[in-house]
Amino acid sequence: MDDLVRIFKSPTGDVYHISLVEDEGLLSTEALQAIGPVRLVGIELRRLAGRHTTSLDVLTALEQTIADFFLQKDDVIICYYCDFINPIPRTSKNSMPPQEYRSRLFDRMFQRYTRHHGLRDVRLSVVEINGVNEKYYFHVIYRERHSLLATIISTDLKEGFGK
């Protein structure tokens, strides 16, 4: 399967790196066998340079990149882990942990995209895992016909990361 790597530069000079790469390391061997020929693709998104607020134009470009990749491949399920490694600017309106903030933002972007493009068979499942000192958020994007596979993936993520 072809991976996708792109670099985006904002008008303010911030540089973003996005990659969509098959990721067999997230799931157990049993789960990988259960999903069969469908590939699990992970999203890695990071800022390489800059500290400005991410603009709507950049968010839209990232959203479009993910959607184009997904819609061109019939045999993929995408999984996005909302990390807490890269800090986000804190304001009084944004006092939630970075991973929760990213989870909400990703969910809103997905809902907006599917609504604007009339996608009826594409789904998003948010997997929330209570860790020792924090919560982990994974987003699983799948076609409706892959609902059972998405459930297997979600269950496996909960079992693997919930320990």
pLDDT digits 0-9 by tens, 57-83: 888 888 999 999 999 999 999 999 887
Whether 35 has a pLDDT exceeding 90, the answer reads yes
Which residue ranges make up each domain of the chain? 4-161
The string of pLDDT tens digits covering residues 109-163 is 899 889 988 889 999 999 998 877 788 889 999 999 999 999 999 999 998 876 5
Instruction: Please give the model's pTM, rounded to 2 decimal places.
Output: 0.87
CA dihedral of residues 87, 125, 120, 108 (deg, nearest 10)? -30
Which residues are bridge partners to 154 per DSSP?
none
| pLDDT value, residue 20 | 94
How does residue 86 score in pLDDT terms, banded at 50, 70 and 90?
A: low
| pLDDT value, residue 56 | 84
CA angle 144, 32, 70 (to 5 degrees): 40
- Three-state SS for 144? helix
Tell me the C-alpha distance between 101 and 157, whole Å: 20
How does residue 94 score in pLDDT terms, banded at 50, 70 and 90?
A: low
Residues with Cβ within 8 Å of 39's Cβ and at least 6 positions away in sequence, in order, are 1, 22, 73, 75, 76, 77
